[in-house]
Amino acid sequence: MHNKHSTVSTGAGEKKMSAANARLEQLWRRGREFLGTQTAIMGGAMSWVSERHLVAAISNAGGFGVIACGSMTPALLAAEIEGTQALTQKPFGVNLITMHPQLSELIEVCISHQVSHVVLAGGLPSAGAIAQVKEGGAKLLCFAPTPAFGRKLVRLGADALIIEGAEAGGHIGPVSTSVLAQEILPEIRDVPVFVAGGIGRGEAIVSYLEMGASGVQLGTRFVCATESIAHANFKKAFIKANARDAMPSVQVDPNFPVIPVRAIVNDAARRFTAYQHEVIERFRNGEFDQKAAQLEIEHFWVGALRRAVIDGDVESGSVMAGQSVGMVSSEQPTAAIIADLIDQAVKALAERLPSEAYS
């Protein structure tokens, strides 16, 4: 009698999990179709970290890897794309910074290498850049900080939007992911919207999909992937850190607006505050104009990030991390990270299903 009951329960449990799997497929179908992937999980573009090995690993595991072009030259980007194509047959994208002085040439590199998706980040892209991506046949994703910006980007030709909250690592905006999602997801339905910032588990993925997102983007969670080339010291800093250790940088002078950078607090984070004072002092002494001074302040992070990620200097280098760093507890293969996220998402959806329907 007992055995029969447990067989029924197991059968009901399997039916419930099957229904939850089907529900997840339904929730992120639009995102999957847009990306051409098994899951609508994008890898966030992280300078020095999101290179061919991690990007290919994410795509091969059913996600959507994104190369972080950062300050690369067109020749370096071409080599990175070719290197990635040698490691995966699956779709992947390239993230380009709109302020890059050679943006047009970088877009050309993406098009000539038949990159399927281009992400334009770091400010509102020009109509010319948007047209160049579109005419080249790539799908275009842009970051939308507000509903009005989102609508404008869609009018200009963006095929999808990414909304990224302040919980993210690296350069951040002022608004949290949960608030951006409430502002933008009900308003913008005509293109897929991907949610980023502070996502570390499958339950959060489900909640944003249920709110109307087509998919999600995660960066911090993938830093400690086995395939990530980040230095062992950098990965150790992530595994050790709690959510509250990843703090935004402080702006010391309102006349020198600095985009805050979220990173694990260390000597570099403290040094950045002092560095701003030094640069502002040099500006007041007439060494350079305000724009040059701001660029000088921004350049601090480029070298500091490389020192930490590549050289493993996690004290004087910048350990950029999102608040979800507290959920990174070990080094895992990329495929295992994605499998964990899906498992958590499916279990969360199964719990929402009424049990009596499956008994």
Query: Which domains does the chain show, CATH number per domain?
Result: 2-230+328-358 (3.20.20.70), 232-323 (no CATH)
pLDDT of residue 289: 87
Phi, psi angle pair for 120, to nearest 5°: -100, 120
Map residue 279 onto helix, strand or coil: helix
DSSP code, position 286: T
pLDDT of residue 246: 98
1-26 pLDDT, tens digit each: 444 444 445 688 899 999 999 999 99
Map residue 18 onto helix, strand or coil: helix
**Contact between residue 145 and residue 168 where contact means Cβ atoms under 8 Å apart:** no
pLDDT of residue 4: 44
Does residue 357 register a pLDDT over 70? no
pLDDT of residue 1: 44
Percentages of the chain per state (helix, strand, coil), in multiples of 5:
50, 15, 35
Mean pLDDT estimate for the chain:
94
27-45 pLDDT, tens digit each: 999 999 999 999 999 999 9
What is d(CA 32, CA 64) in angstroms, rounded to the nearest whole number?
Answer: 9
Q: Write down the H helix ranges in 241-289.
A: 267-284
In the chain, what percentage of residues exceed pLDDT 70?
A: 96
Give per-residue burial for 227-255: e unless 16+ CB within 10 Å, then b: bbebbebbbebbeebeeebbeebeebeee
Stretch 134-162: mean pLDDT, rounded?
Answer: 97
What is d(CA 301, CA 318) in angstroms, rounded to the nearest whole number?
Answer: 7
111-120 pLDDT, tens digit each: 999 999 999 9
Let me know how many helices (H) and strands (E) the chain has, helices first: 14, 11
Type and span of the H or E element at 345: helix 334-352
